[in-house]
Amino acid sequence: MKNKTLRIATRKSPLALQQTKYVQKKILSLYPDVNIKLVPIVTNGDNILNKSLSKIGGKGLFIKELEIALLENKADIAIHSMKDLPVNITKELCLVSVCKRGNPLDTLVSNHYNSINQLPQGAKIGTSSLRRQCQLITYRPDLIILPLRGNIETRIAKLDQGKYDAIILATEGLNRLKLQNRITQIIPAELSLPSCGQGAIGIQSRIHDKKMIFFLSRLNHINSFIEINAERAFCRKLNAGCHIPIGSYAIIKKNQIWLRGLVGSPNGETILKGEKIGRYNTGEKMGYSLAKELLQNGAQNILNNIFLQQFNYI
């Protein structure tokens, strides 16, 4: 890779650029002679801010243009937030590496209240995540959930303008932007199970570019990769997109992996949860097994109802 120019496709949002610079620094620490060129791209997900993701095509809208840049050889690799990467990847591409995962949990951000429990009855909460909405409503049915789109800075600005009593964001996004001072409460997984892959950065490349895959393999954090692979297997079996309130969270401890999964109805009336513990090298099988178990216990009915609602909406 000496004297080669490595072209990195990235979204233009402040968080995406920060994540890309993190990967750039990692690459240069291993291969100091590589020349790196950033290829900033604006995606459809960045442009459409007045509709929820579930109504405009899902999280894949944040990566499509980056994948096109890879397929058209306008970039060599693309950097993604793992929670935005669909579980079924374009067949000509592959997930090469997952960097060491940061904090995967959700965070409450509020200017007046220190925790979800302290929020007054009827408090206005900003989030466009059906997963967060579902779990919040179940825990506090009195809360009013309002849509909230835009980058992290835009969302915080709306909070500061008094449009919400609190908003829910990803903890690691705030950490990466050095906005830890805005964190009011890190919400435990028992209350808000994270999204699949939340808190991790993924590196994508062309599946036939063997040299690039070998070159980037040293950036892969094996435990994070195994954890997220288990989470993605759970979501893949459910054929889940962002129109489904779904959470999955895996942790490796002492050669064992603990996987938790959740499927719920958007209104929070029904939430199904499950978990499995097994050897760390069985994470993918556990993901499929846990999803199958929830499907048999009622998740299939939830998915069918959501599909019908989406069909009728269309």
> Are residue 289 and residue 313 in the same domain, yes or no?
yes
CATH number, domain of 165, equals 3.40.190.10
* Residue span of the structural domain in which 175 resides: 106-186
Calculate the average pLDDT of the chain.
Answer: 90
Q: Would you say residue 174 lies in a domain?
A: yes
pLDDT digits (tens, 9 = 90+) for 82-135: 999 999 888 999 999 999 999 999 999 999 999 999 999 999 999 989 999 999
3-state class (DSSP) for residue 309: helix
> Are residue 53 and residue 89 in the same domain, yes or no?
yes
Catalytic site positions: 84
Q: Where are the alpha helices (DSSP H) in 256-299?
A: 283-294
Q: Would you say residue 191 lies in a domain?
A: no
pLDDT band at 60 (very low <50, low <70, confident <90, very high): low
Q: Would you say residue 194 lies in a domain?
A: no
CB 267 within 8 A of CB 137: yes
pTM: 0.90
How would you label 10-39 residue by residue, b for 16+ Cβ within 10 Å and e otherwise?
Answer: bbebebbeebbbebbebbeeebeebebebb
> Are residue 267 and residue 231 in the same domain, yes or no?
yes
The backbone region for 135, taken as left when phi is positive above 0, alpha when psi lies in -120 to 50, beta otherwise, is: alpha
Domain count, the chain: 3
Of 10-14, 20-24, 153-157, 304-308, the one with minimum mean pLDDT is: 304-308
Q: Would you say residue 193 lies in a domain?
A: no
Paired tokens of 13: 């949002």
Paired tokens of 170: 């990803």
Q: Would you say residue 75 lies in a domain?
A: yes
- What's the order of all strands across the beta sheet hosting 185-186? 144-146, 124-126, 166-170, 106-109, 185-186
pLDDT at residue 178 tops 80: yes
3-state class (DSSP) for residue 203: strand
Return the pLDDT at 231. 97
